[in-house]
Amino acid sequence: MKVLVTGGAGFIGSNFVHYWLEHHPEDDVINFDALTYAGNLENLRDIEGNPNYHFVEGDITNAQTVNNVMEGVDVVVHFAAETHVDRSILGPGVFLKTNIIGTQVLMDAALKAKVKRFHHISTDEVFGSLELGSSEKFNEETAYNPHSPYSASKAGSDHLVRAYGDTFGLPFTITNCSNNYGEYQFPEKLFGLAITNVIENKAVPVYGDGLNVRDWLYVQDHCSAIEAVLLAGKLGETYTVGGLKDDVSNLEVVKMILRIMGKNEDQIEFVQDRLGHDRRYAVDWSKINQELNWSPSVTFEEGLRKTIEWYQTHQEWWTPLKKQAQGFFEQNYKKV
């Protein structure tokens, strides 16, 4: 089978490329990535010599390039997207271009190439926000109510994928996943930033009061969920994918990181809250569990320990990335 992975040099995409080649060594995997700030070929240096792995640099909004790379492809796994809420607030335009127009260009090419499945990676953020302390969770039937330019652009791409299925017969599936964490995550997101700041003996920024809640999904478990959908998921279906059963606040996450790393809580620094900051996300992943027999393989603390160990042993990977992003950190994390 020939698998096209868009955004395969990014955090989740590169983990998926590794995962798929390890578990399906007979398949050919094409990694199509524009190598923006979040795309990093160092993530894939160890598989460069694999004859079943191929990298093509390109922009998903360029129809000619996309048509060329789509030739002979059986399955598309579409990760390529602008994904950081904070950056979408600073500059929404590129999010709309990449996440909506780019998805449309890919689907046009997929239809021409008669791919067997177009799998679209989306987010739980399209559903909006839940009340703190409630028992409500997002599921496949939850109405869309995005609150940031990022989540609105992903909501738009989700609707477009379904429209292409209804109008043109695109054989699609969609997963709406919760916040991922793990190896190769660009160190501007909560986990990477907190862990690397602790290593550097710097303050760990926490937005607002820190009580915002997210569902956390270890990236390897996300990869196995996508695999389950690709192998047995019903075409035209959506699956919500999460990693937790109980709520954990961002402040609790940071405190857990500090505890595991043997530090005390005086490294926490509360910073100005994000504009339009969603209060709570929680994901009901019972459908993918019941229909495809998928469930997370690690507890939250197990996944967190694996992630901390990885950052501790890969300082040469994240140190230059943090230097490149220094201007963003200074602009975005302002003390209260």
- Predicted local distance difference test score (pLDDT) of residue 188: 84
- pLDDT block averages, 10 residues each, the chain of length 336: 97 98 98 90 96 98 98 98 73 88 98 98 97 96 94 96 98 97 92 96 94 96 98 98 95 98 95 86 98 98 98 96 77 62
Among candidate residues 227, 189, 196, the one with its CA nearest the CA of residue 11: 189
Q: What amino acid occupies position 228?
A: A
Domains observed in the chain: 2-181+215-241 (3.40.50.720), 190-213+246-279+298-324 (3.90.25.10)
- Predicted local distance difference test score (pLDDT) of residue 335: 63
Strands, sheet with 53-57, edge to edge from the N-terminal-most edge strand: 53-57, 28-33, 2-6, 75-78, 117-123, 172-177, 238-241
How far apart (Å, rounded) are the C-alpha atoms in residues 196 and 308? 9
- CA distances from residue 336 to 270, 271, 315, 327 in whole angstroms, order as listed: 6, 5, 30, 18
- Predicted local distance difference test score (pLDDT) of residue 331: 67
- Predicted local distance difference test score (pLDDT) of residue 334: 63
- Predicted local distance difference test score (pLDDT) of residue 135: 94
Q: Are 322 and 194 in contact (CB under 8 A)?
A: no
First to last CA, the chain: 53
- Predicted local distance difference test score (pLDDT) of residue 151: 92
- Predicted local distance difference test score (pLDDT) of residue 333: 65
Structure tokens belonging to residue 38: 């979040």
Give the catalytic positions in this structure.
Answer: 124-125, 150
